[in-house]
Amino acid sequence: MGHTPFPFLLNRFSDFAMVDTVQDPAESPSAWRNVMVLVAAQAILGSQMPMIFVVGGLAGQMLAPNACLATLPISLIVFGSMTTAPWLSTVMQRYGRRVGFFAGTLGGSLGAATAAYGLWVDSFLIFLVGSYLTGIYMSAQGFYRFAAADTASESFRPKAISYVMAGGLASALIGPQLVKLTNDLTVVPFVGLYATVVAINVLGAALFLFLDIPRPERVAHGTLPEGRSRGELLKDPKIVVAIICAMVSYALMNLVMTSTPLAVVGCGYEQDTAADIVSAHVLAMFIPSFFTGHLIARFGTTRIVALGLFILAGAGIVALMGVDLQNFFIALILLGLGWNFGFIGATAMLQSAHSLAERGRVQGLNDALVFGCVTVASLASGGLMNCSGGSVTAGWAAVNMAMIPFLALAGGALIWLALRPAEE
């Protein structure tokens, strides 16, 4: 009964998206085709991420020699994404998006298979290796939003990014339900789930055969501007603020979400309840994407990112008010909404701050820094949750209190950018 509103919501927002399609007849068919392929990839392939995030900490707690290391598998996923992003971005710049996305599904398949084997033989080390390989998929998925913008016009670009992110709505429905279906498939907990993730990657890879994004032209040295170096890019105020806001939005979302299954189960609720809470969270992450692009076009990136940070603060306040089920649900829904506005707004801000020649360099740098910060957040999440205060409620409070300085950093950066004089 708890999930009956979801199809209705999906249909309503799909109708909204179809109306917008009619309103953009001038956009090229190839741009719409690419967006639709990437939406499907976000929905189908992306369902593996909520699956793994629901059970990653629980599996880590089962295998780890120390409870403080329970979220280390999730940290290794994010660390894998961070270390993969720079070279994967280079691969896409040289050989095209399709090659990079195939590499992502290969990493996802190998990672899930290795993690399943680690669970089967009760090896935390092998499970960690599988988690790292899964990070290759996570990194590739992060480039879906950039790929959507490659063939889009300037006016359509924010909408293309937000539509692709909206594909995560289906992954929010699919992933947690697959967790419930695969829980008891094997004698060893979670092995069936990781086997299902292998199948998702193998079958989902076929989607990229329909992608039509031209490979960037390679030009002779000196014939066209090569763009700014990484050091020069980091001197651009708009790029720096966009990266800071993306880092904070994503890291704080990950910090709290990673600990949520541990907190929910630790407070005496069922694992299926934790899956439902994560499902509501991921829905909140992606439902707004149907109109985030419109809001950005109307109000600008700075205001939308600021709104996202404000909502993230609200999530922390609700979580600190108690550990009843409604607190968990409301806090995680707000966490998803805040991430959506903060992260998509920061992505759109970044997209407008660099040239085509700088694309691969900027995107690789951005994702390396973002996922580096997320790696630290996910690792800290387990330590704060299990090793501070001596109780589940004290650990959960510590996780949410940790949001404060980072929200202050991102908010201060936005204010600084807004107060700078406009460039000629």
Assess whether pLDDT exceeds 50 at residue 201.
yes
Residue 355 clears pLDDT 70, i.e. is over it: no
Residues 363 and 366: their CA atoms lie apart, in Å, by 5
- Rounded CA gap, 378 and 219, in Å? 41
User: What does the pLDDT average to over 155-184?
Assistant: 79
Distance, in Å, from the CA atom of 367 to the CA atom of 238, rounded to the nearest integer, reads 16
SS3 203: helix
Residues 6+ apart with CB under 8 A from 40: 167, 207
User: How do residues 365-380 score in pLDDT, each as one tens digit?
Assistant: 787 788 788 888 888 8
CB 195 within 8 A of CB 176: no
Q: Which domains does the chain have, with CATH numbers?
A: 29-213+229-419 (1.20.1250.20)
Residue labelled with tokens 């949750």? 385
Residue for token pair 């593996």: 48
Cβ atoms of residues 342 and 286 within 8 Å: no
Checking if the pLDDT of 8 tops 70, the result is no
Residue 34 structure tokens: 């690419």
Residue 56 CA: distances (Å) to CA of 196, 312, 346, 362: 15, 23, 28, 30
- Structural element, H or E, at residue 186: none
Record the tokens describing residue 74, joined without a space.
């999730």
- What are the tens digits of pLDDT across the range 117-149? 999 999 999 999 999 999 999 989 988 877 887
- Angle at which helices 157-166 and 29-44 cross, to 10°: 30
Determine which of 13-17, 263-267, 355-359 has the lowest per-residue pLDDT on average. Answer: 13-17
Distance CA 386, CA 272 (A): 21
- Tell me the HSE value of 132 on the side-chain side, using a 13 A CA sphere: 8
| 3-class SS shares of the chain: helix, strand, coil, % to 5 | 80, 0, 20
- Joined together, the tokens standing for residue 77 give 């996923």
The percentage of residues in the chain with a pLDDT greater than 90, rounded to a whole number, is: 36
Q: Would you state the pLDDT for residue 5?
A: 38
* HEC secondary structure over 23-35: HCCCCCHHHHHHH
Question: If you count them, how many residues does the chain have?
Answer: 424
Closest CA to 168 of 154, 188, 195, 148: 148
Percent of the chain past pLDDT 70, that is, above it, reads: 88
